[in-house]
Chain A
Amino acid sequence: MYDKGKIVPGLIIFVGLMLFAIFNNAGQKPQPPKLEKPEGYKECVLPVEEMKQSHMVLLNEWRDEVIREGKREQVKVGGKMFDKSLQRGCMHCHTSKKKFCDVCHEFASVYPYCWDCHIAPQRDMADQEAK
């Protein structure tokens, strides 16, 4: 074998990089996020499976309908009427962004930019002040 001094360290670096995720996770078992489900409500806007996968699409549709088409009429969820709105709709039931949206998003490394403008529910602020 020629150039051992360069090839062997090179291969070790390569294997090390490839196994990065294994070293990174060592000693941990990934736990699915524990979400705080809304109290007193049984249903979400759409069936849960659909919400899990497509809530961002629903939000986008709502936004387009409300802002571009001016369709602000409310939606019916579980017999009650709710605003078609991120802050006054979703967050009306999901009272904490930190304990619901963020838990899941951090697990999936998703950082929606919506909150640059939209305000997180008051409960998060209260929780933070109480700490």
Chain B
Amino acid sequence: MRVLYPFVAVLALILVAFLGGKVTGLQYMLGVVLPYLAFGVFIVGFCNRVMQWSKSPVPFRIPTTCGQGKSLPWIKQDRLDCPNNKLEVVGRMILEIFAFRSLFRNTRAEVHDGPKLVYGSSKSLWLFAILFHYAFLVIVLRHLRLFTEPIPFFVPLLEMGDGMMQMGVPRLYATDIVFLAAIAFLFLRRVSLRHIRYISLPADYFPLILIFAIGVTGLLMRYYYRVDITAIKQLTAGLASFSPILPAGIHPIFFIHVTLVCVLMAYFPFSKLMHLGGVFLSPTRNMSNNSRSVRHINPWNDPAIKPHSYAAYEDEFREFMKDAEIPVEKE
């Protein structure tokens, strides 16, 4: 069920877009109005979500310490895994964002005869996640060729590197294959491992299926139907310069692809995909573990309430304490 609903939802979207792509009036809706709307929802929703997060106070230092913290001079500190200052935090965050270090540390727990619990390293999730994300990034950047005029210098460079294998025409891009293979792995991992399937919800399957469908329609468009790119670019580059022209005779597969992408953009701010922004704001990674050297003051403390030391407390209540036979430090 939890796989079936998202699957049916994506199929329904494809069907709607396919039918809409055949009707001229709806073509304008799907090709011009929907992209603007979805993009607007994406940008505003994204910022709104981050602003909402920024309202949550983080009064304590809660970094996950994964190594030796700063201590006596002859004890070696693990600077990346237990950062003590801003520079070390920046190093930790850069590796987190560009190399997915937390995923690299992923483990697998197994129960063997005995019964004996065994933990082992499990790098496949990290490997396919990082392949997926970088392939996605390259694909998004390559799409700039359709939205920009003049085309920025790095787009042809990416295309050259990506098509380096010079297989077939239109040239096969390595990222296209990596992308589909990686997302297929991430999906199969969810459905085939019992314990992962148990914790998976429709909100986990929907983005996977949606992104897979986007990839497949994109590939069909480039390698199989070979839609007319000069015509499509008049629409897409037109969108980015606010003068979209909808040329006649665009293949329905294009509208399917665009509709699915628009759904992804509009869904983004309300879904787990917000980890794009969230990774920067994760307090377990972006805080330094320096609570032993710096005094952190709770931001919502009432400034009128002054710190109250034990000595002052005893001064205030000494008589009552003596009466109650509570030991006091000063007589």
Contact = CB atoms under 8 A, between A and B. Distances in A.
Interface of A: 1-4, 7, 10-11, 14-15, 18, 20-22, 24-26, 28-30, 32-33, 49, 52-54, 56-57, 59-60, 104, 106-111, 113
B159 A25 contact: no
Nearest to B277: A14
6 contacts: A3-B54, A7-B50, A7-B51, A21-B147, A24-B150, A53-B227
B315 interface: no
A2 B149 contact: no
Contacts of A57: 169, 226
Interface residues of B, number: 45
Contacts of B277: 14
Contact of B226 (A3, A33, A53): A53
Contacts of A15: 43, 47
A55 to B, nearest CB: 9
Contact of A22 (B159, B227, B229, B241): B241
Contact of B237 (A3, A7, A25, A56): A25
B25 interface: no
Interface in B197-243: 226-230, 233-234, 237-238, 240-243
Select the residue from A4, A26, A33, A107 with max chain B CB neighbours within 10 A.
A107
Contact of B241 (A28, A52, A109): A28
Contact of B46 (A7, A14, A109, A110): A14
Contacts of A22: 240-242
A108 B150 CA distance: 10
B271 interface: no
B238 to A, nearest CB: 6
A10 B57 CA distance: 18
Given A32-B230, A53-B228, A60-B169, A25 B240 contact: yes
A29 B241 CA distance: 6
B160 interface: yes
**What does DSSP make chain A's interface, helix, strand, loop or mixed?**
helix
A21 B299 contact: no
A49 B242 CA distance: 27
Contacts of A33: 230
B46 A24 contact: no
Contacts of B175: none
B147 A11 contact: no
Select the residue from B57, B160, B229 with max chain A CB neighbours within 10 A.
B229
A21 B226 contact: no
Contacts of A10: 50, 280
Contacts of A109: 145, 151, 155-156, 159
Select the residue from B144, B237, B299 with max chain A CB neighbours within 10 A.
B237
Given A22-B240, A24-B150, A113 B156 contact: no
Contact of B145 (A26, A32, A108, A113): A108
B230 A108 contact: yes
A52 B46 CA distance: 39
A26 B51 CA distance: 29
Contacts of A3: 54
